[in-house]
């Protein structure tokens, strides 16, 4: 993270395991002591329409001091999930997972499902999975509007192939248009790089992706 010169981190439970509240808090505090800002937790799955299961995951985020869940709920769980969003005042950004996802392939499916729910339930738009569904990525950002809580950024060499991921800037993702749209929307959230290739040596591609995105933003007058 320090090599990347960014403090912003969306933690998975791989990095911050679920467990007793005091242990979760201790580990989250260690990340913060290292200079990191914890922006969200997830992806967290909600497969059981049961209070106990959902409450445990909200308690985990409460203990970690994280106010945004990147979530993958089954559709049947949404009414019960809304109850906990209201109780804990923790937002849930539903992550779309492309054509293979039976619940939410596209952000448009998320928006249709949450339109009558609490405004703290919205979207984490994964631009790669969105592109693979044939949904216009830039248009989906606009349609999400205030329900857009988070973004997972990646790039694809082939707009239909999941396994064609490349460093951001090397593929067909309309990255400049994405950032132009976010700026025009005054989007207040984060753009999380989700780099899922070369797991044994990810840093070169991660650095390249950050450099490209920063270059795009610098060209628009943004520094950092």
Residue 180: is it exposed, middle or buried by C-beta count within 10 angstroms (0-12/13-18/19+)? middle
- Cβ neighbours for 156, distance < 8 A, ≥ 6 positions apart: 128, 131, 132, 164, 165, 166, 171, 172, 173
pLDDT digits (tens, 9 = 90+) for 39-91: 999 999 999 999 999 999 999 999 999 999 999 999 999 999 999 999 999 99
Mean pLDDT for all residues in the chain = 96
pLDDT digits (tens, 9 = 90+) for 91-103: 999 999 999 999 9
pTM: 0.94
Is residue 32 within a helix (H) or strand (E), and if so which, with residue range?
helix 21-33
Is residue 65 within 8 Å of 26, Cβ to Cβ?
no
Tell me how far apart the alpha carbons of residues 208 and 165 are, in angstroms, rounded to a whole number: 14
Note the pLDDT of residue 224. Answer: 56
pLDDT digits (tens, 9 = 90+) for 118-130: 999 999 999 999 9
Tell me how far apart the alpha carbons of residues 29 and 65 are, in angstroms, rounded to a whole number: 9
Q: Which CATH class is domain 8-218?
A: alpha beta
């Amino acid at each position: 993270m320090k090599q990347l010169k960014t403090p912003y981190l969306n933690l998975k439970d791989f990095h911050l395991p679920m467990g007793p509240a005091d242990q979760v808090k201790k580990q989250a505090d260690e990340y913060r002591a290292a200079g990191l800002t914890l922006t969200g937790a997830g992806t967290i799955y909600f497969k059981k329409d049961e209070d106990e299961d959902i409450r445990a995951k909200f308690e985990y985020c409460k203990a970690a001091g994280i106010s945004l869940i990147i979530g993958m709920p089954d559709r049947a769980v949404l009414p019960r999930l809304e109850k906990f969003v209201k109780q804990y005042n923790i937002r849930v950004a539903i992550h779309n997972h492309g054509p293979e996802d039976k619940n939410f392939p596209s952000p448009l499916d998320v928006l249709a499902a949450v339109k009558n729910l609490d405004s703290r339930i919205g979207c984490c738009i994964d631009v790669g999975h969105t592109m693979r569904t044939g949904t216009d990525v830039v248009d989906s950002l606009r349609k999400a509007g205030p329900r857009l809580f988070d973004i997972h950024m990646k790039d694809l060499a082939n707009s239909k192939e999941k396994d064609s991921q490349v460093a951001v800037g090397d593929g067909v993702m309309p990255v400049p248009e994405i950032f132009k749209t976010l700026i025009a929307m005054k989007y207040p959230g984060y753009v999380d790089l989700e780099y899922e290739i070369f797991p044994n040596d990810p840093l070169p591609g991660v650095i390249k992706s950050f450099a490209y995105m920063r270059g795009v933003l610098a060209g628009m007058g943004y520094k950092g």
